[in-house]
Structure 1
Amino acid sequence: MRDECLICHAPLEYLENEELMECAICHRQEYSRTRCVNGHYVCNECHMQGLDQVVEICYHLDSGDPLEILEAMMSLPQIHMHGPEHHILVGAALLTAYYHAGGDIDLQTAIPEIFSRGKQVPGGACGFWGACGSAISTGMFISIVTHATPLSERSYQQANAMTSHALSAIAKVGGPRCCKRNAYLSILTAVRYVKEHLGVYMQVHPVTCRRQAQNHQCLLTRCPFYREDES
């Protein structure tokens, strides 16, 4: 089944202007531009319920491959095809791999920090803000490992450069959005950046995506990770 609306699985629609909507799960009312074609709205907080298992993966999966870690996260049943949870997953996978690849960080404090920061980037930021949350998550990752602040010099430059490189990779492929594709692109870009600028090598395996049946807007052969579904 294609994963769009969490309530009825209908396609999502994106409005030009915000409207007051009520979450179909918790009934919180807030302004948003995103709902399904049948009118269902799910808030970001409800969309990201059950991410405690992501934390378990970060603390217990001994791997220096951020794509392996990302796939373990995305295979969890509570991780949807699209959604703001990816704004956390990318940075969390990178932090975990960076640690196991020899990076000097305290993973026990870094993971809660990426959760806190990633949750602040709403769904649809890629189209409405012009900045995909997965790309922003790579900048958060660099910011955390380099201890960047708004007053930093070199680490400030590195965090913003990381985000810009990831955004460029995403923009080159174009839209419509795909949270899986953008997560892959962001992580691959971050791996190259970290090797060059931080001297930590995170090994990655080749990416093959067979989730096209779950994505109404899959680019198919235009996606660099597309493979025919042989099932």
Structure 2
Amino acid sequence: MEMKGDWDLNREECLICKAPLEYLTQDEVMECAICHKKESSKTRCVAGHYVCNDCHTQGMDSIFGLCLSETSADPVAILRRMMELPFCHMHGPEHHVMVGAALLTAYKNAGGNLEFEKSLREMYSRGKAVPGGACGFWGACGAGIATGQFLAIVTQSTPLAQEPWGLSNQMTARALKNIGRVGGPRCCKRDSFLAILAAVDFTREHLGVEMERTIPVCSYSGRNNQCIGKRCPFSAAKALETKEIKTVKRAKLVKLSLK
């Protein structure tokens, strides 16, 4: 994948050298290893490389074409297609935009009423404003925040709105509760799926628009050095284990019925 400066970037951990990331507790002025912009941040790799949010999300505007041509009302499926695009890394602030964009697309395809392209651009702008690491530093995962942004956009909420204001905040709270309940460390894939499923339920309950709801099985664990394994609700190993248990139970029931 090519980005500014023709760097050959890696998808896991440090985009420059693959070294583990480290998170500081206070901002320091850092220089982006790609565009050389200097700004305050708490995140760099152990070798000292820092990549700014703009460089990290380079190419993210490709989601517009995907969303505008999408016909599915399943936001999880739409999100997974976004995750396969070249710009998307294992972790990163691109997920803060992608979650909301997937929800807007599914909402529209499920019959929701909105100015779709205008809404997508607004989501892109709002989602990009949430920096990487917000989950740990702000106590509010960007994927969860994106669900509130999604609801605020479709209900045309403003700081002076009454019901839309309340619903948008309730939406964010529900998504963050589901994300926080699983616990850390962060996984942008897991947290995005949790946020979307919370939004599907909330949108059906409060707006009467029923998007498709599918539970994904993770295919990203090999790329996540901090994978929590079977503690993850989308763990492939956990899904296989559950399937095997169901198969055994079914076999026992068949045996009993034959007696």
Shorter chain as denominator, the TM-score bin is: over 0.9
User: Which residue of structure 2 aligns with residue 83 of structure 1?
Assistant: 92
Q: Distance in 2 between matches of 1:66 and 1:80?
A: 19
User: Which residue of structure 1 aligns with residue 78 of structure 2?
Assistant: 69
SS, match of residue 80 in structure 1: coil
User: Which residue of structure 1 aligns with residue 150 of structure 2?
Assistant: 141
Q: Structure 2 regions of 5+ residues with no counterpart?
A: 1-9, 241-259
Q: Distance in 2 between matches of 1:34 and 1:13?
A: 6
Q: Which has the higher helix share?
A: 2
Return structure 1 stretches of 4+ with deviation > 2 angstroms.
none
TM-score by length of 2: 0.87
Offset of residue 2 of structure 1: 6.5
Offset of residue 206 of structure 1: 2.6
SS, match of residue 237 in structure 2: coil
Match of residue 201, structure 1, among 194, 202, 210 = 210
Q: Distance in 2 between matches of 1:11 and 1:155?
A: 41
Aligned pair in 2 of structure 1 residues 96, 2: CA closer, same or farther (>3 Å)? Answer: closer
Deviation by residue 1:24-79 (Cα, 9 ceiling, x = unmatched): 00000001000011110000010010012111111001110001100000011210
User: Which residue of structure 1 aligns with residue 169 of structure 2?
Assistant: 160
Q: Distance in 2 between matches of 1:11 and 1:211?
A: 17
Q: Distance in 2 between matches of 1:54 and 1:24?
A: 25
Q: Which gives a bigger RCO, structure 1 or 2 (Cα 8 Å, sep 6+)?
A: 1
TM-score by length of 1: 0.97
Q: Distance in 1 between matches of 2:37 and 2:75?
A: 35
One-letter identity of the residue aligned with 1:99: K
Q: Which one has the largest radius of gyration?
A: 2
Q: Number of paired residues? A: 230
**Could you say what the CA RMSD is over the residues aligned between the two structures, in angstroms?**
1.3
Match of residue 230, structure 2, among 216, 221, 226 = 221
Offset of residue 204 of structure 1: 2.3
